[in-house]
């Protein structure tokens, strides 16, 4: 397969990129890692009239932790997040490197970029789920300067964001540490798009859940935030994680397609939320956070899968 004809431009700085986007119009697209955009172009699912290649812009690949949180540059490869050995990042935001292995395959993780994944806005994307879960803030630069958008407001639909056509995503910032967070997902083959993905974080105190946060992917056009208010104050035990999974399944209306039925996605949701919370809290629980209803006994994932 070959893409439709397009013009190619290489930018060497952010201001040049913004100028080109303003000049070329809304049918132009930014090329970063290209691991999502190029396949879509090859299948004619995307037909940009022009590409603006930003891969040579210096200073946009970094993981920087300071008093304002963890800052991730737009051109940071997935693999850099996966392999970071910074002890402070691993302690406060370890969910990011732990989750990176779910992203595609090794070549994709070496070439794909953090900012590109956020801007692409796939509703099953690991980084999109974690951005919503952890209250990330997206920084965009346009002709009028920089502005920030909370991740919960950034994703507007399938592959649709709050970024304007003449804006470039330059950074994602995670403001608050999340020591008890995890992401898990299910696909028929390693590296395939997730049928369902679940990201979870817990705020624990004295064996009690002060709050739980759960975000789902693969069940709608944007990452879905589960209302878990009724579980606040519940004990941090396996029964609570199971209840959270059932609560999440009850709140969604997932689609049916050639990959899975709506009922199967609901079943997956209940299991994966249970597993994500068990993993997120395992370091804080004497029994590893699982107990008799932990993920090892959650049941087979393939039951009732479409043939």
Q: What is the mean pLDDT of each run of 10 residues along the chain (307 residues)?
A: 94 98 97 95 95 98 97 98 98 97 95 97 97 98 97 97 98 97 95 95 96 97 98 97 98 96 98 98 55 40 48
pLDDT tens-digit readout, 113-146: 999 999 999 999 999 999 999 999 999 999 999 9
Residues with Cβ within 8 Å of residue 52, at least 6 apart in sequence: 9, 10, 11, 17, 20, 21, 24, 28, 29, 30, 31
CATH classification code of 7-53: 3.30.43.10
CATH architecture assigned to 63-174? 2-Layer Sandwich (3.30)
Task: Kindly list the domain boundaries of the chain, sorted by start residue.
Answer: 7-53, 63-174, 181-294
Whole-prediction pTM: 0.92
Question: How is domain 181-294 classified at the CATH fold level?
Answer: Enolase-like; domain 1 (3.30.390)
């Amino acid at each position: 397969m070959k893409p439709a004809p397009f013009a190619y431009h290489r930018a060497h700085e952010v201001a040049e990129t913004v100028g080109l986007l303003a000049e070329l119009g809304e049918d132009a697209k930014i090329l970063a890692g290209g691991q999502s955009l190029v396949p879509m172009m090859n299948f004619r699912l995307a037909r940009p009239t022009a590409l603006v290649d930003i891969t040579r812009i210096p200073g946009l690949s970094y993981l920087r932790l300071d008093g304002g949180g963890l800052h991730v540059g737009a051109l940071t490869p997935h693999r850099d997040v996966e392999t970071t050995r910074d002890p402070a990042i691993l302690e406060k935001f370890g969910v990011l490197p732990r989750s990176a292995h779910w992203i595609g395959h090794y070549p994709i993780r070496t070439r794909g970029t953090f900012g590109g994944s956020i801007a692409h806005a796939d509703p099953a994307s690991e980084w999109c789920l974690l951005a919503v879960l952890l209250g990330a803030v997206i920084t965009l630069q346009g002709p009028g300067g920089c502005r920030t958008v909370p991740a919960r407001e950034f994703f507007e639909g399938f592959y649709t964001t709050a970024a304007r056509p003449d804006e470039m995503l330059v950074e994602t910032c995670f403001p608050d540490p999340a020591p008890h967070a995890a992401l898990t997902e299910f696909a028929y083959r390693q590296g395939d798009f997730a049928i369902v993905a679940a990201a979870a974080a817990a705020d624990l105190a004295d064996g009690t859940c002060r709050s739980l946060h759960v975000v789902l992917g693969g069940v709608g056009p944007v990452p879905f935030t589960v209302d878990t208010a009724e579980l606040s104050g519940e004990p941090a035990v396996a029964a609570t994680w199971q209840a959270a999974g059932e609560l999440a399944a009850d709140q969604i209306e997932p689609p049916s397609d050639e990959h899975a039925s709506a009922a199967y996605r609901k079943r997956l949701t209940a299991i994966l939320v249970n597993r994500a919370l068990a993993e997120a809290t395992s370091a804080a629980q004497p029994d590893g956070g699982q107990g008799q209803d932990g993920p090892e006994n959650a049941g087979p994932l393939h039951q009732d899968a479409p043939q």
